[in-house]
Structure 1
Amino acid sequence: MSLPDDHALTEDGIAPNGRGRVLVLACGALAREITALTRQTGLSHVDLACLPAILHNTPARIVTALRAAVERHREDYDTILIGYGDCGTGGEIDALCAELGLDRLPGAHCYAFFEGVDAFAARDEIDAFYLTDFLARQFDAFVTRPLGLDRHPELRDMYFGNYRKVVFMAQTDDAVLTEKAKAAADALGLGFERRFTGYGDLETTVTGL
C-alpha cells in the first residue's frame, strides 16, 4: 500500500485496503511506522486504517470518531486493535475499548510507547516538549499554526516559557528530519536533544498480531 502524504494523514486519514483479517485502527501520525512494521514482518493479514492525525488537537473528538470507525469496519475483520494511547482523552479510549472488547496500544501516548512505556515512565521530564518523526515533519500543522505563532510570535514564551528542551524521539535515522526537529527547537527558543527510539513498544504490539 502506498501511503498518502503527511497532509492527507493529518487532515483525512486513510481507509483500509480490505484484504486482511486484522485491522489496526490508528492515528494518522502512526501510519508510516505501522506500515513499515507490517511490511518488514510480512503481516499480510493485517490492514491499517487511520483517523486524521489532527484530531489530537481536539482530543474530545477522538472517541466519537473511533466508535464510528469501529462500527463501520467491525463486520469485515476478526480482530481490531486500537492504535492510540490515551492521547489526552482522560481514560475515554480505555472506556470505549472495555465497552467494545478491544485492545489498544500501551501507554498514555505515542511518546511513551515509542520510547518504551517503562523507560518513559522512569524519566522526570516535565519540562520537555516531544517530537516524533511525524511531528517533526508536521510541526507547522500541529504547533505553529494552531497556536497562532505564525501570526503572533510574541505568544511563544507564554506557551513554552516553562519548557527547557525539545526531545526528538526519532523512529528512523533521517538527517533531514533531525534538522527539521532542530529548527523547531530553535523556533521555540528551547534546547535540543535527539533520542533514537526506533519503534519501541509499537513494534512489539504490531508484530504480535
Structure 2
Amino acid sequence: MRSKANSKRVLVVACGALAHEIRAICEMSGLDHLDLHCLPAILHNRPDRIAPAVDDCLRERAGAYDSAFVAYADCGTGGALAEVCARHGVEMIRGPHCYAFFDGQERFAARDETTAFYVTDFLARQFDAFVTRPLGLDRHPELRDMYFGNYETLVLLAQTDDPDLTARARAAAERLGLKFERRWTGYGELTPILSAL
C-alpha cells in the first residue's frame, strides 16, 4: 500500500546489473512508489544497444506513470542514452558508469586508476557469464593477456559484506593474473539518488 506522501508512481528503468541493489534500497527505505523495470545486464557487452532498449521501454510505458527515471549512467553509450532521456524528459544517473556512482563520482574521478579492472557484487557473482565466456577465455585462455595485459589490479567495489562474492572476485583476479583489492562502497550514491525520486 502506498502512503499519501508517496502516492505518485515512478517508473525506474534500470540496468539488470542493479536489480538486487535497487530492490534492497527500496525495501529498506520504504520506496514502494517506485516500479522497477530492468533491462538485461548483458546489454553492457553491446553498449550501442542500451539507448535503443531504454527508448523502447520508455515509449511502451509512456503515460502509465507520473514520472520516470533511468537508473543507468552513460555506460559506454557515448551520450546516446542522455539524448534518449532528454527526448523523453526524464533524468538519469550522472557519470560514466556504475563503478563511479557506487564509489562516489568525485572519489572515483580523483583516483584516475587506468590500470584497475572494476567489479561490483553483480559482476563478481556473474563473472563467467559476463566476462569469461563472452570473451572466449574459457576456450582460449591465451587471449587473457590481449584483453587484460594493461591491467594490474582487479578491484571489487563491494556493495555487501559477502565473503562468497569476495572469494569469487579474488579467484577471478587470480585467473586473470591480477592483484586483488576489495573496497567497501555499500550502495554509494545510488541510495540518495533513488530516495530523491
TM-score class, shorter: over 0.9
Pairing partner for 1:202 from 174, 190, 194:
190
Report the CA distance between 1:107 and its aligned residue.
1.2
- Cα deviation digits, residues 47-95 of structure 1 (max 9, x gap): 1000000000001111111111001112211111001000000000111
Aligned match of 2:159: 171
Partner of residue 36 from structure 2, selected from 33, 40, 48: 48
5+ residue gaps in structure 1?
Answer: 1-18
Tell me which residue corresponds to 2:133: 145
Query: CA separation in 2, counterparts of 1:56 and 1:186?
Result: 23
RMSD: 1.1
Following superposition, the deviation at residue 158 of structure 1 comes to 1.1
Q: Distance in 2 between matches of 1:189 and 1:131?
A: 15
Choose 47-56 or 19-28, whichever is displaced more: 19-28
When normalised by structure 1's length, the TM-score is 0.89
Q: Which amino acid aligns with 2:192?
A: T
- Aligned counterpart, 1:3: none
Q: Which of the numbers 87, 104, 123 marks the counterpart of 1:99?
A: 87
Superposition pairs of residues 6-17 of structure 1, within 5 angstroms: none
TM-score between both structures, scaled by the size of structure 2: 0.95
The CA distance in 2 between the partners of 1:114 and 1:198, in whole Å, is: 7
Q: How many angstroms apart in 2 are the aligned matches of 1:173 and 1:207?
A: 22
Note the 1:112-151 alignment, pairs <5 A: 112-151=100-139
Unaligned runs of 5+ in 2: 1-6
2:84 is paired with a residue whose SS is: helix
Q: Partners in 1 of 2:161 and 2:99 — Cα distance?
A: 17
Contact 2:8 2:66 (C-alpha < 8 Å) held by counterparts: no
Q: Aligned letter for 1:124?
A: D
The 1:50/1:86 distance shift into structure 2, 3 A limit, reads: same
What is the CA deviation profile of residues 82-135 of structure 1, one whole-angstrom value per residue up to 9, with x for unaligned ones?
A: 010000000001111111111001211000000111111111200000000000
Give, in whole Å, the separation in 1 of the partners of 2:122 and 2:70: 19
Aligned to 2:23: 35
SS at match of 2:174: helix
Aligned-partner Cα distance in 1 for 2:8–2:132: 38
Q: Which runs of 4+ in 1 moved over 6 A?
A: none
Find out whether 1:191 has 2:174 as its counterpart.
no
Aligned to 1:150, the other structure's residue is in SS state coil
Aligned length: 191
